[in-house]
């Protein structure tokens, strides 16, 4: 039974629901006060800590039922789990308290991951607890964390650009209403061609030079920028649809000596890979596209590796 159905069965004709979009953080206390002034008999504060706090602070007598993702005792919403006390009670999923567990699970699924990105909303009071818990778990496993912040949908793409720039191997998304509401945008950003290929090229280069390990402190820093595009090569005359396409991937790179800050190598490379689109078979076409991208990335990684190996051998 849904929360709304249960409240309706309680026959409380003047109940109010404090359910706000994430972009209205600052308006919640005012809205809660407005609801109290309207003589409501109870408030259901769902979704996040800010709503629960606003509802609790608006009155000392009107019952408040919350749903949150952190420890309500730690935040001062209730006295204890067994005896909430006062006029506030509710349900905590405790999902924000599982940051370290998520890191551990990610490490078990992908043991080669060394640098983990954390996407958090700094406006959410529970994000700080979740971030610290995840960072503590990563530290125990010898993993590095990179925190990217986004307060609304317009900052998500910029956060992913920062994560790609910082060369993260994997991503943990924090528990927040904004991420649930914008999950399609997050999925699209995480699965973009640029993000996937940047990670593949980085991993290929690391493996080429280190065999997958970090045997010595780094002496150089490599910066790689990529740009890809597609072009139709042939069209099926029967369907007027493309049946062969070419994916072109270009890169510019520079190698910097860490001790001196001197750029010692610069260069660029490009490759083009053709693939069948197989007419109207959508998933087969997507598979062909992704395979072409992976092949192009591998060729570029090998080209850059050869150029850098030549520098390290000859010194020029």
CB 155 within 8 A of CB 149: yes
How high is the pLDDT of residue 144?
92
Least confident of 97-106, 132-141, 265-274: 97-106
Q: Which domains does the chain have, with CATH numbers?
A: 3-93 (3.40.50.2300), 97-190 (3.40.50.2300), 194-314 (3.30.160.150)
Mean pLDDT of the chain: 78
How high is the pLDDT of residue 207?
84
Regarding predicted confidence, which is higher, 281 or 17?
281
Q: Rounded to 5, what percent of the chain is helix, strand, coil?
A: 45, 25, 30
CA distances from 85 to 5, 10, 66, 89 (A): 25, 21, 14, 8
What is d(CA 104, CA 108) in angstroms, rounded to the nearest whole number?
6
CB 16 within 8 A of CB 38: yes
Predicted confidence (pLDDT) per residue in 22-33, tens digit: 334 456 677 777
Query: Which residue bears the tokens 């408030």?
Result: 43
How high is the pLDDT of residue 281?
63
How high is the pLDDT of residue 212?
67
Query: Which residue bears the tokens 């369907």?
Result: 239
- The residues with which 8 forms a beta bridge, in sequence order, are none
Predicted confidence (pLDDT) per residue in 108-160, tens digit: 988 888 889 999 888 877 788 788 889 999 999 999 999 999 888 788 888 88
- Beta-strand ranges (E) seen in 52-188 are 64-68, 88-92, 115-120, 144-149, 170-173
Regarding predicted confidence, which is higher, 164 or 304?
304
């Amino acid at each position: 039974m849904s929360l709304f159905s249960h409240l309706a069965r309680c026959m409380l004709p003047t109940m109010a629901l404090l359910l706000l979009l994430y972009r209205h953080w600052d308006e919640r206390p005012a809205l809660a006060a407005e609801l109290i002034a309207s003589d409501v008999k109870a408030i259901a504060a769902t979704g996040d800590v800010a709503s629960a706090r606003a509802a609790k602070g608006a009155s000392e007598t009107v019952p408040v039922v919350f749903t949150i993702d952190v420890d309500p005792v730690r935040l001062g919403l209730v006295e204890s789990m067994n005896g909430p006390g006062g006029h506030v009670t509710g349900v905590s999923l405790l999902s924000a308290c599982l940051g370290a567990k998520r890191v551990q699970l990610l490490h078990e699924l992908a043991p080669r991951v060394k640098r983990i990105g954390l996407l958090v909303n700094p406006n959410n009071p529970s994000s700080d607890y979740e971030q610290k818990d995840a960072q503590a778990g990563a530290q125990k496993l010898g993993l590095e964390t990179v925190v990217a912040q986004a307060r609304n949908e317009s900052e998500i793409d910029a956060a992913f650009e920062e994560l790609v720039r910082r060369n993260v191997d994997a991503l943990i998304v924090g528990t927040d209403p904004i991420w649930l509401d914008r999950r399609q945008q997050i999925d699209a950003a995480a699965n973009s061609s640029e993000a996937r290929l940047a990670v593949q090229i980085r991993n290929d280069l690391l493996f080429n030079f280190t065999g997958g390990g970090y045997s010595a402190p780094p002496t150089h820093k490599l910066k790689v920028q990529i740009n890809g595009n597609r072009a139709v090569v042939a069209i099926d005359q029967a369907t007027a649809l493309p049946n062969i396409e070419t994916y072109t991937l270009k890169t510019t790179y520079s190698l910097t000596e860490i001790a001196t800050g001197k750029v010692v190598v610069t260069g660029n490379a490009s490759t083009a890979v053709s693939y069948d689109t197989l007419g109207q078979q959508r998933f087969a076409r997507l598979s062909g596209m992704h395979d072409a991208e992976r092949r192009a990335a591998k060729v570029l990684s090998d080209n850059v590796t050869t150029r850098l190996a030549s520098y390290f051998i000859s010194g020029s």
